[in-house]
């Protein structure tokens, strides 16, 4: 099963400056998150960010937040506990006309956009905020794809333990390049050269 561009949303968890110095391979992870954010925005994939305790840890990194529709400030480790799940569901469209001018079946709200139930997820720390967010999304019946080379923790062991647990819970484990190439599907895609430039 390949990632479907039209069904995807991208969630980037807690890439914050005060976490950066303590994290394993932070430079590579940050670069991959920024690549995903740029490509997601170019492909019109909804890109969301979260920031854990921003007054203590700082805001989401600007190279990532610049591509986000919205950034959720949170105190809970799971962003779902703070309302992320509602952001990921399509907003209902207001009924057109008024109650007297429309037949009853047309007065009900319709979804403005198709559901995008595939959540491509990456972030810090993998064994805390990313893990708890992912498990809650799986429980809420989203399909979760975790981008392993755009995730980190303070130690490699904690990061890898998170991946083991996420795979056991049903998350798909992928890499940044897997995501990009599956969204594009072929070299004839108009954004292929842009993506090629990002990963070289």
Q: What is the mean pLDDT of residues 97-117?
A: 62
Let me know if residue 33 belongs to a domain: yes
Domain span at residue 134?
5-90+111-199
Let me know if residue 29 belongs to a domain: yes
Instruction: Report helix, strand or coil for 50.
Output: strand
DSSP string, 58-125: -SBPHHHHTT-SEEEEESSSSGGGGTHHHHHSPPEEPPSS-TTTS-HHHHS-EESS----EEEEEEB-
Taking only the tens place, the pLDDT of each residue in 126-137 is: 999 999 999 999
When divided into structural domains, the chain yields a total of 1
Let me know if residue 17 belongs to a domain: yes
Let me know if residue 102 belongs to a domain: no
Q: What is the CATH number of the domain that holds 149?
A: 3.40.50.850
pLDDT at position 90 is: 80
Distance CA 57, CA 37 (A): 21
Let me know if residue 100 belongs to a domain: no
Taking only the tens place, the pLDDT of each residue in 61-75 is: 999 999 999 999 999
Work out the widest C-alpha separation in the chain, in whole angstroms: 63
Let me know if residue 137 belongs to a domain: yes
Let me know if residue 106 belongs to a domain: no
Work out the percent of the chain whose per-residue pLDDT is above 90: 86
Pull the structure tokens for residue 171.
């998350």
Let me know if residue 158 belongs to a domain: yes
User: Is residue 42 very low, low, confident or very high in pLDDT (cuts 50, 70, 90)?
Assistant: very high
């Amino acid at each position: 099963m390949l990632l479907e561009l039209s069904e995807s949303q991208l969630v980037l968890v807690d890439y914050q400056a005060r976490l950066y110095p303590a994290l394993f391979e932070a430079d590579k992870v940050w670069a991959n998150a920024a690549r995903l954010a740029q490509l997601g925005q170019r492909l019109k994939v909804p890109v969301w960010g979260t920031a854990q305790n921003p007054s203590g840890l700082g805001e989401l990194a600007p190279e990532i937040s610049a591509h986000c529709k919205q950034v959720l400030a949170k105190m809970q480790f799971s962003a779902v506990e703070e309302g992320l799940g509602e952001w990921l569901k399509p907003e209902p469209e207001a009924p057109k006309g008024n109650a007297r001018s429309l037949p009853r079946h047309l007065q009900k709200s319709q979804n403005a956009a198709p559901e995008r139930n595939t959540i491509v997820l990456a972030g810090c720390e993998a064994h805390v905020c990313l893990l708890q967010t992912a498990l809650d999304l799986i429980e809420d019946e989203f399909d979760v794809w975790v981008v392993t080379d755009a995730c980190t923790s303070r130690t490699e062991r904690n990061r890898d333990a998170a991946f083991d647990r996420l795979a056991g819970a049903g998350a798909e484990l992928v890499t940044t390049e897997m995501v990009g190439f599956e969204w594009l599907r072929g070299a004839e895609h108009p954004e292929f050269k842009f993506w090629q430039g990002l990963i070289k």
